[in-house]
Amino acid sequence: MKVLLISHNPITTYQSMGKTFLSLFSEFDRDELCQLYIYPTLPDVDVCHSYYRITDRNVFESYWHFGKVNGRKITIKDIDTTKHDFYENEKEENFITVKKTPLKTIFRDVMWKLSRWYTKQLKDWIEEERPTCIFLAPGEAKFIYDIALKISEDYKLPIITYICDEFYFIDKTDGPIDKLRLRVLQKKIRQLMKKNSCIIAISDEINRQYSKEFKVRAETIMTGASIPVNGERKTETQFKGITYLGNLAYDRISSLIEIGKVLDGINNSFGIDSKVFLYTRSLSKDVENRIKDINSIEYCGYVTGDEFIRTLRKADALLHIESFKDIYAEKVKNSISTKIADSLASGNPLIAYAPGHIASMKYLVAESAALTITNPVDLREKLYEFVTSQEVRIRIAQNGLKAARHFHVASKNSARLKTICGEYSSEEHKNI
């Protein structure tokens, strides 16, 4: 058996999806994996036999180089396990760090559609690797579905599709262009599902919706923690504050600001000094301006790799947030964040502030695994109780560890995925 992982991001220790892959495939042997990916960075772990990368910049520049898309085969000598960076170099970062809009997403899909990305070099790499099935982790870009469908058709490879975010059952869009983008994507997803052999769903909500709509087998495998599940809850000697490790996309900054303002009020009223320690990538000027007068929010920079794990472990409490705006809640309504698995496994108590109807909050409420705040009206009362009561924090941490042991042990979840991939790696697919 050899799985061809097709995705936007490589397997890494420093990016959410990269860490999810690292967990999902933790029980696979190195020779059982190869990866085709898009993002202009490099893996920082040697868990695949080989990687092949085609970036947006490769495709864009092909229009000025006689149509030739210069992809890149990446082997073990290209991997530096001490370097954890989102971009391979500054030139790649400058090319990709532009604000995403529906129109730009459509342009990107057209750019890929009209390019000659399916090169002899890529085909030679596939034939060298001899995969027996495809594991596709798609998204809102249509072109990655086309890549998987083309390779599947040419090499007679079954497709297993990983659904960890909602891109099909979307009720709200951001204007007419976004509505057009969504319709085109939905059509492509329907095309994929006709060829799809099995869905790996990150939540039971996704499992139920997709298996019912597309009449295809679906299995729920929740994200395994990227750290071992702690043997016991951590007990802080003095509560200093709440740590947030993650990005601020999808307007999460608004929820963070609400927490900061409420915490400022609690600190001032009761003479305490609790903080929100913010670990994220560099802040935009807009975000800096929005948080500059909030005393309880302390920006601590960005951590990856071993430093991320140390920061996670030493936190007094951890924070999960989502926006309460409908258009952003819609995008995460059926997903369960990778950070939740790591947070519960750490043994630290978790605060979750997000709309109650989304899958992550339903899960945390059902397992009593976090202090869940689903209404801004309740924020002050519940946050005060959490900050001032060690008993409350201990109870939450204990419940979180219980959920982590049951749902988020990476080895157990990965072994299940390996069995499923093996089922579809039949003899007829082993002779490319």
Residue 92 confidence (pLDDT): 63
Residue 430 confidence (pLDDT): 52
Q: What are phi and psi of 385, to 5 degrees?
A: -60, -40
List the structure tokens of 235. Answer: 């007990």
Decide if 235 is inside a domain: no
Residues 141, 277, single domain; the answer is no
Residues 355, 414, single domain; the answer is no
> Per-residue confidence at 98, pLDDT binned at 50, 70, 90?
low
Q: Measuring CA to CA, how many Å separate 112 from each of 41, 117, 190, 212?
A: 19, 7, 20, 31
d(CA 51, CA 112): 20
Residue whose pair of structure tokens reads 């258009």 in the numeric block? 327
Are 336 and 222 within 8 A, CB to CB? yes
Residues 383, 415, single domain; the answer is no
d(CA 200, CA 210): 10
Residue 187 has a CB neighbour count (10 Å cut-off) of 11
Decide if 159 is inside a domain: yes
Among residues 386, 365, 309, the alpha carbon closest in space to that of 22 is found at: 309
Decide if 89 is inside a domain: yes
Residue 94 confidence (pLDDT): 58
Section 290-305 average pLDDT: 93
Residues 287, 192, single domain; the answer is no
Decide if 233 is inside a domain: no
In tens, the pLDDT along 178-217 reads 999 999 999 999 999 999 999 999 999 999 999 999 999 9
Residues 402, 423, single domain; the answer is no
Residue whose pair of structure tokens reads 């996670």 in the numeric block? 312
Residue 426 has pLDDT above 70, yes or no: no
Residues 390, 414, single domain; the answer is no
Any idea which of 60-74, 96-110, 196-210 has the lowest mean pLDDT?
A: 96-110
d(CA 163, CA 223): 12
Decide if 147 is inside a domain: yes
Average pLDDT of the chain is: 91
Residue 202 confidence (pLDDT): 93
The CATH number covering residue 69 comes to 3.40.50.2000
> Per-residue confidence at 399, pLDDT binned at 50, 70, 90?
very high
Residues 346, 421, single domain; the answer is no
Decide if 97 is inside a domain: yes
Give residue 421's domain range.
Answer: 3-224+410-429
Residues 198, 58, single domain; the answer is yes
Decide if 236 is inside a domain: no
Residue 101 confidence (pLDDT): 87
Decide if 229 is inside a domain: no
Residues 291, 182, single domain; the answer is no
Q: What are phi and psi of 49, to 5 degrees?
A: -65, -40
Residues 119, 268, single domain; the answer is no
Residues 263, 328, single domain; the answer is yes
Q: Tell me how many domains the chain contains.
A: 2
What percentage of the chain has pLDDT greater than the value 90?
73
Which is more confident, 247 or 99?
A: 247
Section 359-379 average pLDDT: 96
The CB-side HSE value for 221 (13 A sphere, CA atoms) comes to 29
Residue 432 has pLDDT above 60, yes or no: no
The order of strands in the sheet holding 297-299 is: 297-299, 275-279, 241-245, 318-321, 350-353, 371-373
This prediction has a pTM of: 0.87
In tens, the pLDDT along 325-343 reads 998 998 888 888 888 999 9
Residue 100 confidence (pLDDT): 78
Residue 75 confidence (pLDDT): 84
Residue 428 has pLDDT above 60, yes or no: no
d(CA 183, CA 341): 32
Q: Is 137 helix (H, G, I), strand (E, B) or coil?
A: strand
Residues 162, 292, single domain; the answer is no
> Per-residue confidence at 226, pLDDT binned at 50, 70, 90?
confident
The CB-side HSE value for 216 (13 A sphere, CA atoms) comes to 25
